Amino acid sequence: MLHGRKKRLLPGAWASEVIDLTDLAMRLLHPATQGLLLGVLSLTCVLARRPRAALGLGIVALAWVWIASTPALAMSLRATLAAPPDDGRVRADAIVVLGGDTLPMGDWARTRTRAGKGLALWRTGRAPLMLVSGSDQAKQLAEGYAVSGVPAERLLVEGASDNTRENARDSATILRSHGARSILLVTSSIHMRRASGAFRQQGIDVVPVPVPEAYAAMADAPAWLPRRDALTLTARCLREHVALWAYGERHWMRDGVDG
């Protein structure tokens, strides 16, 4: 290897580094991580003999983690993202199910998961094609749908994508090759705005079919008492808002209502 020359990144390598940086940024958006970093800064101030600064940072860290763990904040953030439910009437050329959810056991159609929602749509005849997307779960979803009665010639698999933009781009190519221009898009309610926008950017008409997250227990919980599931939901919503901003800045999505 020659020395003294700058390393040139191939497009694929550059994309991988960008994805790695994005993943790091997303991890930093978790309130627990932010609280930990503030705690480290507080300890640094203690070592530097700056007690007031240390106390202030410590209070901010504890207060932020407490507030981020409350159902009041978590459910408020969710309300800014959650998509309305499907009306059950509109048909499309294909059903698209995005990976990233828990794979159900037993009869998939009886579960409140993405996989279950997709199978329920298929069994009610809402579209003649089914496409599963995502490198993490496409294979398992396809196998489950095959066992559940979806014919092989009607089941399409996109198993190379690693993020929402790639889900849309790679799925759109497959859909167009089969003459499909409109889809019933199945993903979580919080993720739906970004996912549907990414598919619209690829020229696909989208009918959103959101799957509600399992956070019903928080609705009846004390609003200002911390809960682990509330902290998880807050973190998800914060990441999704930042992702929406990033997709908008990069023109990776198009807002609108189709169907």
Is the per-residue pLDDT at 93 higher than 90?
yes
Dihedral, 213, 141, 147, 150 alpha carbons, nearest 10: 90
pLDDT at 153 over 80: yes
The predicted model scores a pTM of: 0.84
How far apart are the C-alpha atoms of 84 and 140, rounded to whole Å?
28
The pLDDT-based confidence of 108 (bands split at 50, 70, 90) is: confident
Q: In the prediction, which pLDDT does 24 show?
A: 62
Q: Which of 73-77, 116-120, 183-187, 213-217 has the lowest mean pLDDT?
A: 213-217
Pick the range with the lowest mean pLDDT from 93-97, 112-116, 218-222.
Answer: 218-222
CB 259 within 8 A of CB 205: yes
Average pLDDT over residues 135-163: 95
Inform me whether the pLDDT recorded for 29 exceeds 90.
no
Token pair for 31: 């309130």
pLDDT of residue 129 exceeding 50, the answer is yes
- Mean pLDDT (the chain) is 88
pLDDT surpassing 50 at residue 225: yes
Q: What pLDDT was estimated at residue 27?
A: 73
pLDDT band with cut points at 50, 70 and 90 for residue 6: very low
> 1-15, 100-114, 162-176: lowest mean pLDDT where?
1-15
CB contact burial 47-74 (16+ within 10 A = b; e otherwise)? eeeeeeebeebbebbeeebbbbbbbebb
Mean pLDDT for the stretch of residues 96-110? 87
CATH number for the domain formed by residue range(s) 94-213: 3.40.50.620
Residue 2 has pLDDT above 80, yes or no: no
User: What's the pLDDT at 22?
Assistant: 57
Q: What does the pLDDT read at residue 235?
A: 94
191 contacts: CB under 8 Å, gap ≥ 6: 98, 100, 164, 240
Give the pLDDT of residue 21. 52
